[in-house]
């Protein structure tokens, strides 16, 4: 740490630390051992702003509420709890945040959500897939159901 008064490098020591902003930052009171001046620093997690690349090529800021609302609609009148939905959205978001990528295609987000929904509730999965994959006719919808039934039959 560089002293803002005498510009000495690595000559400061922390005299007090406390969390601020509901635990999102740490406020540190420091003192320079060369000039004896005191100053305050704040440490915050540097969050990477994620951008979503839409199907048409446009870009927009990642919005977790969009995933949450889509999953809620897919799980409507099912036995899936709000806690399970929250966990699914958390896991989806953290899988991208941990990758340190700044841009994520919507197709990747949709595939991860579908994989997680398939494990959680098959009916919700089919509902989500029908919107996400934009089935054009009953045949494409039936193909997806056949795949699901085949997977279920081979896993038993």
Res. 98 pLDDT band, cuts 50 70 90 = confident
Per-residue pLDDT of 36-76, as tens digits, reads: 999 999 998 766 788 999 989 999 999 999 999 999 999 99
What is the CA angle 103-118-154, rounded to 5?
Answer: 125
Report the distance separating Cα 53 and Cα 70, nearest Å: 17
Per-residue pLDDT of 131-148, as tens digits, reads: 777 766 677 777 777 877
pTM attached to this predicted model: 0.62
Per-residue pLDDT of 101-125, as tens digits, reads: 889 999 999 999 999 998 999 889 8
Res. 93 pLDDT band, cuts 50 70 90 = confident
The domains of the chain are located at 12-44, 51-146
């Amino acid at each position: 740490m560089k002293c803002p008064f005498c510009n000495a490098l690595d000559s400061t020591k922390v005299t007090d630390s406390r969390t601020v902003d509901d635990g999102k930052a740490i406020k540190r009171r420091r003192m320079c051992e060369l000039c004896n001046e005191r100053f305050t620093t704040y440490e915050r997690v540097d969050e990477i702003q994620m951008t979503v690349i839409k199907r048409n090529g446009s870009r927009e800021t990642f919005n977790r509420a969009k995933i949450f609302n889509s999953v809620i609609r897919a799980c409507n009148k099912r036995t899936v709890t709000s806690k399970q939905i929250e966990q699914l959205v958390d896991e989806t978001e953290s899988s991208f945040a941990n990758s340190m990528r700044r841009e994520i295609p919507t197709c990747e987000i949709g595939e991860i959500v579908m994989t997680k929904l398939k494990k959680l509730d098959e009916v919700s999965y089919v509902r989500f897939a029908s919107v996400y994959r934009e089935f054009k006719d009953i045949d494409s919808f039936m193909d997806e159901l056949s795949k699901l039934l085949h997977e279920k039959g081979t896993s038993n």
